[in-house]
Amino acid sequence: MSRPSRSSDAVLTPLAVERRRLLLGLAGLPLLAFAVTSLPTAARAQTARLLDAPRIAGLVGERYDGYAVPRGKVDSALSALIDKVNADRRAVYAKQAAADKVPIEAVGKIYAAEIIKSAPVGTWFLGENGQWTQK
């Protein structure tokens, strides 16, 4: 069988291109690709469940660096939830960064790409350029 031509290969989405660019830019850091797959699945699932309803409602967005952020004014209970989720994420990122000897920011950005993939439709994302986009 012959290999398909390049023109028939899958087209990369903007997110895939951005993720690839980030990974290539950090290629000198050992085990970074391993960091994405080794992040605890339970932590990802728990975080997603806690924020699904507020994200769908547009009250909470996700930042390019892997942290949740309020979109406008939110009540104290939601603010506390965002703080808790971000503290949990920060702990996961720090542990992974230490294990892989990479900057915590690099782990957060890789995790952000995973969050974007798994977030429900309607979730807002804040890019590094300061622009909001909706899934």
What would the pLDDT profile of 35-56 be if each residue is shown by its tens digit?
444 445 565 556 557 888 999 9
Of 75, 60, 82, which Cα lies nearest the Cα of 135?
60
**Beta pairing, strands 124-126 & 60-63:** parallel
Question: What are the boundaries of each domain within the chain?
Answer: 45-135
Buried b (16+ CB within 10 A) or exposed e, 40-54: eeeebeebbebbbeb
Return per-residue pLDDT of the chain as tens, 135 residues: 444 444 444 454 555 545 554 444 444 344 433 444 444 556 555 655 788 899 999 999 999 999 999 999 999 999 999 999 999 899 999 999 999 999 999 999 999 999 989 888 999 999 999 999 999
Residue 113's region, left for phi above 0, alpha for psi from -120 to 50, else beta, is: alpha
pTM over 0.75: no
